[in-house]
Structure 1
Amino acid sequence: MKRLASLALLAALAGCASAPQPASQPAPRPLYRDPVLDGAADVSLVFNRGLKRWEMFYTNRRATLRLDDPRDVSWVHATAIGIATTDDGNHWRAAGEAAFPAECTGATLWAPEIQDFDGLYHLWLTVVPGVHERWTGERRIEHLTSTDLRHWTCAGRVDLGSPRVIDAAVIRAPQGGWRMWFKDEQGGSRLKFADSPDLRTWTVRGPVSDLPGEGPTVFRFAGQWWLVADLWQGLLVLRSDDALHWQAQPTRLLAGVGRHPTDRAKGQHPGVTVVDGRAYLFYFTHQGGEPEAKTDDRWHQRSVIQAAELTVQDGWLSVDRDAPPPDLRAAFKAR
């Protein structure tokens, strides 16, 4: 009897080993476009522990707004933060707009940065008071907290010594405390960093690059710290052992244009999420290279979210935007 049971178990195991594996299913291209304003950009992904699903917070720009003056940039003002969610990881749907306390935010909100530290969600949000026709006005970074990603509490304005700061990226620093990277527009639009022992008081420690840029994202991957940021001519890549001293990658990512529809523009404002040892890059592309732009002089305002997978080649980050998008089901499906 024991011999028969053992043979049956071996046969079952052999059957499992030879069973066909689920076929890879690339995510759509684009991964996501806002169904109302068609101006999704600047994404930050976070796992909603209460709903047991991944969510994407993004700048919801008014890309369908038609303005008489081509230099008028009020369409990127009066912007809410949109939320998209997914059940299977590959297909994302709109889930409304985020609601924040009026006392610490405003009409124009950009570049959400969400981190889950010790069971509490932290959001660093760029706030631009008012609506501007030109790239003028104050910019500041506000810190908010939440237990459910829906109800937020003001946790204080981040004092970084400048009236024009945007695009926070925050990690728990290897040396202790927390570290933030941001763009200082008053300081030549350079990327700077600051340290904090408590997420309330911050000490600016200087620039990380002499190049102007924005939208930094910082993450741990393949045994290194990486900083990726938007230089408006491709993505800057910096590498570090300690998230403090950096080396610049010789080449930029996504500096050219892709071959596939909706991806025929340089990649901008990256967000990277590392899951199970794999790094997924989320970026936006303007739609000026699409056929619709030939007959619609405002089509270029539209932007969509694309997904690609980062790999390490010869010690540096690499991405193939023309390859099929990654299958995101294993990493980002609902649990």
Structure 2
Amino acid sequence: MTLLYTDPVHLAPTDPSLIAGPDGSWWMFYTQRRAREPDGGHRWVHGTDIGVARSSDGLTWEYAGVAEGIDPHPGRNTLWAPEVIRAGDRFHMFTSYIPGVPDQWAGHPRTILHHTSTDLTHWRYDGVLPLSSDRVIDACAYELPEGGWRLWYKDEAAGSTTWSVDSPDLTQWSAPVQAIGGDPHEGPNVFRLGEFYWMITDDWRGQAVHRSVDLTDWEPAGRILDETALGFGHHADVVVERDEGWIFYFTHRRFGFADGVLDPHRLTDVHVAVLRAEGNRLVCDRNAPVAPNYLAQGEIRCP
């Protein structure tokens, strides 16, 4: 596997989202879980900032602090799962928000915040998205071929399934509808590769894959990142160039310790693998080498 990045401060980066910056470098935004948090329970996954790392080639990443000014409320709160896209001359960030620093996973309201920026550094708060419940996380936005945008997300109040809303301008939103039902899952990510649109979702056993020709009707299309020996790949993002993609995902470490970490399972790393469409299936060889400067070659589409 190609190990890309480990957060140098809290040792537990998750939920990566990549975007090409205005200066030509690549930016990775991620949930900065706090593996060294001494308290019990699940405080370590709450009270989190959005971490930032930068790279010129996609293989060597440098920590660039945290996204500043994106918590609109006083005190210490929780920010998860950034989705960063570019629309025209502006960047948009959608983050999952939980008030305070809970010590349990369940039982707390969750909303998705919207921010905009011209430089990926200074962010303006544009409000809370009007979605299907107050238990929503994990936004993913994709530009529709006929114009406008669609945003998918996880609704925990609806069986932890994927829902979507449409917008002509990323400010007005349609009524929510369910996009993918079935067993619980999270972290939807949508992209075009080959002849299909693809949606991958994290069901905690790797990534379930669906494909579509219209971004509306989805059919199951296998699994990726589900090799037990390599560790399941979680909450992924995909960057596409022509007929090839790269999938960025995180794994939990199964071995090794770090000073001040209560449980080594808290330690996570971000990896990358080549992703290809072969007919009606996605193929991902996590052991295949990734070319140097792979993100610096040609025209890149960042879905």
Q: Letter of the aligned partner of 2:117 in structure 1? A: S
Tell me which residue corresponds to 2:15: 42
Letter in 1 for 2:268: S
Question: 1:136-215, aligned counterparts within 5 Å?
Answer: 136-202=107-173, 203-215=175-187
> Normalised by the size of structure 2, how large is the TM-score?
0.91
Paired-residue identity, %: 38
Deviation at 1:100, TM superposition (A): 2.2
Equivalences for 1:266-305 in 2 at 5 Å? 266-287=232-253, 289-292=254-257, 298-305=263-270
User: Is 2:59 the counterpart of 1:90?
Assistant: yes
Letter in 1 for 2:98: V
2:81 to 102, 107, 111: 111
Q: Is the 8 A contact 1:64 1:302 kept in 2?
A: no
Contact 1:193 1:208 in 2 (8 A): no
| 1:222 match | 194
**Matched residue, 2:291:** 327
> Aligned partners of 2:256 and 2:26: how far apart in 1?
33
What is the rounded CA distance, in whole Å, between the counterparts of 1:313 and 1:52 in structure 2? 30
Residues in 2 aligned to 1:185 and 1:88: alpha-carbon distance in whole angstroms = 37
Shift of residue 129, structure 1, vs aligned partner: 0.7
The secondary structure found in structure 2 opposite 1:300 is helix
Give the deviation of 1:297 after TM superposition: 5.5
Alignment partners' CA distance in 2, 1:100 and 1:328: 34
Structure whose residues are more often helix by fraction: 1
After TM superposition, give the deviation of residue 328 of structure 1 in Å. 4.8
Q: Distance in 2 between matches of 1:193 and 1:46?
A: 22
The answer on 1:309 being equivalent to 2:274 is yes
Distance 1:276 1:328, change over 3 A: farther
Change (3 A) 1:173 1:77: same
**1:79 maps to what in 2?**
48
Query: How far does the alpha carbon of each residue in 1:259-315 deviate from its partner, in whole angstroms, 9 at most, with x for none?
Result: xxxxx421100111113432100000001x22449xx76110010001001112342
Q: Which has the higher strand share?
A: 2
What is the match of residue 36 of structure 2?
Answer: 64
Q: TM-score, normalised by structure 1?
A: 0.83
Cα deviation digits, residues 162-204 of structure 1 (max 9, x gap): 0110000001122432111100011111111111223223221
Moved more, 205-214 or 297-306: 205-214
The letter of the residue matching 2:99 is: P
> Does the 8 Å contact 2:57/2:295 carry over to 1?
no
When residues 101 and 315 of structure 1 are mapped into structure 2, their CA distance, relative to the original with a 3 A threshold, is closer
Structure label with greater radius of gyration: 1
| Number of the residue aligned with 1:52 | 24
Larger mean CA deviation between 233-242 and 207-216 belongs to: 207-216
2:92 to 122, 138, 160: 122
The corresponding residue for 1:6 is: none
Distance 1:234 1:88 in 2: 26
CA distance 1:304–1:180, change in 2 (3 Å): same
Give the match for residue 265 of structure 1.
Answer: 231
Partners of 2:277 and 2:203 lie apart in 1 by 21
The DSSP-based 3-state class of the residue aligned with 2:44 is helix
**Please, which runs of 5 or more residues in structure 1 have no aligned partner?**
1-27, 259-263
Residues 118-175 of structure 1: CA deviation (Å, up to 9, x unaligned): 1110111111111111113110001110000010111121010301100000011224
Structure 2 segments unaligned to the other structure (5+ residues): none
Task: Find the aligned partners of 1:143 and 1:38 in 2 and give their Cα distance.
Answer: 27
| Residue pair 2:161, 2:181 contacting (<8 A) in 1 also | yes
1:233 and 1:37 mapped to 2: Cα distance? Answer: 25
Paired amino acid for 1:132: P
1:330 is displaced (CA, Å) by: 3.6
Q: Deviations over 1:195-244 (max 9, x none)?
A: 12232232212232322111111111112111011011120111111111
Match of 2:108, SS state, is coil
Query: Which whole-Å CA distance do the structure 2 matches of 1:220 and 1:104 have between them?
Result: 36
Query: Quick one: distance in 2 between partners of 1:93 and 1:330?
Result: 17
Q: Distance in 2 between matches of 1:84 and 1:160?
A: 30
Shift of 1:322: 2.5
Match of 2:101 in 1: 131
Kindly provide the amino acid, as one letter, of the partner of residue 208 in structure 1.
Answer: I
**Aligned residue number for residue 240 of structure 1:** 212
